Structure 1
């Protein structure tokens, strides 16, 4: 799409029933529908009504080891949910999280190609490497694969997947009933890939996806993850920096990395996460947030903080400050969130209890409580000052958090000319303003 630069919006969905860890206890949350299509469909339809670019489906491969009895850690398989929602939506993009650590490129290429066809070109793949030991244990490993090896495997995995999508040229299908020629066999190519981790002959047995490639999304804050995003991703979801200036520094760094990989900087959309508690008035929004905070069990916040800091904090008084933590380079899990929490605790001089209450509310993302214009001000500030191309909106609770945003924030952004009033195209790639990828000539033998 050529025209005025506009904000991109993703609607983040995870089955905690909202981004706030106490969301399931909030009276307006549809907790009883946590495994029902009715809830997912309602969220998707609300987000589509609000002209969101995409619905982002988070996923992990295990229960958290902390406070399992107190949080709704139900995780429906994301690509299955994505395929289901493709049938009940028309315009909104559908992005599912799927790990490269415990899958195979051929299966993943088929899965996303299928959904891209079935949705009319609205599929996206959030590429992740599985970070936690308790997830690895479900696949027979005593501990997770080392961070650098996970990314080396991931890069090879994505290269193969793209090659499989390209193993059919765009005009392969002939479908000539008179001659009986179904396809041009000369336009289907094995990939004969043999690398360090995988050996795949190809080709795939599905025509090239409508988007060429389903949109590749990355969600990482580590330096290694950013290098991967600069090379392969078209959307980057990231933990937001604490200030616009720091956000702009990250934004500029990522755009430079993209250019260094021979890509146009506009072909990576940077969308930090934001948690908005929004209502019709400032007073109502603040009262809503305080209600949520009252629902937090103290043990819950400290338990989750312990998991991400890789240190059992239950042995300390909640009024103490963080103990000495390991260095970020020693962390084999989510390095970005670890570093953000450790730095924030030091910078703001927060006790364990204070840091836990912050984390339960935001999980490290941008945070705003206010009326529609206040939330729009925050989004506009980051966007106009070059710190973001858009935002991954992490609603506090479902489905009302989505409705609040669509009712109060979306019109404000539209009135300012910063957000669409209608979808520009039919595919996710078109609506995000991304190029259609040509078939790689290296695939054609």
Structure 2
């Protein structure tokens, strides 16, 4: 018997949630093939089989919280013909002393399969009724006692439809029982209005906790400026075709802001730092986090050594990380170790916002929508220019207003005159 355990997830992660079972009892599994997908605070992880075999049982249902090292499934070893062949061998060993005719073997294989199915779902003493993981999960969500559910399954196994049917039936009259402690139940909808309750995913809970923690522990402040995007837009228009031909990716705004942020961080190093106890740790490297909207919430994958990369390399990294985020393929190494973060609410139409710090970082740059606005060119001339509001949120414990304002002014100057970026070391 092969035990499938929750692997080591990361230094700071000790548990996860069973997101989905990729294999069901009775399925054959090849060595290295994924059996179950676990959701952690940061990423989803697929747990593979160390050896080939057949999945005998699942020891945790979808939605259950499991700990590192916990056994969550068992495989029977062997390849090819699956559990039925293994069961057949046991049956033959117990009942046969000599080879049987082909017809008898065929009957025994069928009987062995029946025995296997019965053995697979027999509940051990003290484990309660037999039920599929999905049925147990649904019953738990509905607050239904599995022992009260009737099933027509030949082996007495409770399925999802049995739970659904039980819920739709009126409760039978029973003898009075000793009072039980009231279970926590959802509050009824006010005034009978329609409501829906959705359990927060582990990742959404983590995001919520971290955002609250940052606001409670950091002296967060935000400063603003606006940038005339005319020069960058004109440059992109002139160079886009050749850039795509050379790099096989489009030239976006994010690479300009990444390069400008690195240049500004070199001038204002306290924005590329973090606080550890009573010490300030100044980072001499520039791993820039790029906030990306993923199905389960905002994630911040990191572009490594952004100061050593050109525009094409940065755009490729951002595109690759964004694709991984949208497909839940980010690894822990993609999300850890960032020194500064850029978030672009403008892609969703945000005109102005105050971004929240991505702890333990002490600063975050917020980009917003580009809008045509009348701008005074001089005392007598007004022009419509494509303008973007930018925001810098920072931890006032180690970053002063002078540094924050100066940082944002550097960003503005370099974006409005992007040729300056060519001369930045």
Q: Which TM class, normalised by the smaller chain length?
A: under 0.3
TM-score normalised by L of structure 1: 0.20
- Specify the structure having the higher radius of gyration (Cα): 2
Structure number with higher strand proportion: 2
Structure number with higher helix proportion: 1
